[in-house]
Amino acid sequence: MSRLQAVFDRTRTGNRAAFVAYVCAGDPDFETSVEVCRQLLARGVDILELGVPFSDPLADGLTNQLAAQRALEGGMTAARVFELVRRIRDFSSAPVVFYTYYNLVFANGVDAYLRAARAAGVDAILTLDLPPEEAGEVVAAGRAHGVETVFIVAPTTPDERIARIVEVTTGFLYYVSREGVTGVRDQVAANIPAAVARIRARTNLPTVVGFGIGTRAQVAEVAAHADGVVVGSALVNCIRDHLGDRARLPLAVGDRVADLAAGVHRR
């Protein structure tokens, strides 16, 4: 059983959704990022989604773009992202998912990249700008090296394309609840129950929901329907707000995630 499957089995038995936290690897610097990840995984995060810093993150809003910029300016490279995962493995066996862009995978050689990711301790990869029709090399390398694949379903995805996406997904389906880029919103999208039901009609894979979720109440609203809830920008904003006190920063993020993660328990 994979670590991802074990998490979803455990949360399903516990009548709750999995809490998935996104942060950008190396934001705002390597050592602080290690401690942020330590706090996240100690205070309620079931699955850690690590953004791989990229100079042109088209799917991300300003919050996550600036996080990537901070990480890159702090010296993060592909090799250091793998090093960060190895450091995480010193204190946690929780699943780690890479949130990345295809250029970063392709430029390093697809097979070599997936092999290195697995060796570092990565469980799955979500390549945002890689359509399933062109994902054969990544899927094959993932299967060869034991890295699960995650693909996105959007509000605009037709039913016949969901079936195609399911064919190349091995980890979980990531339902992007809003059109556009990442970022905190005042309200969650109204179509989540119907969208999750539409996906579940075509697969038994877990469905997690992200984009625009930033309060405990919003987490609870989504957790009532989805197998997992992703919170990213709200945590990245917390990092941004504490840049002036990096000793305190990881604890502040830990406090924030503990509050958010409390929303995953269903009544």
Active site residues: 49, 60
CA–CA separation, 195 vs 175, rounded Å? 8
CA–CA separation, 229 vs 209, rounded Å? 5
Please calculate the CA angle 132-204-137 and round it to the nearest 5 degrees.
25
CA–CA separation, 159 vs 147, rounded Å? 26
Crossing angle of the two packed helices 249-261 and 233-241, in degrees rounded to 10: 150
Q: Are 78 and 106 in contact (CB under 8 A)?
A: no
CA–CA separation, 13 vs 74, rounded Å? 41
- The DSSP call for residue 228 is E
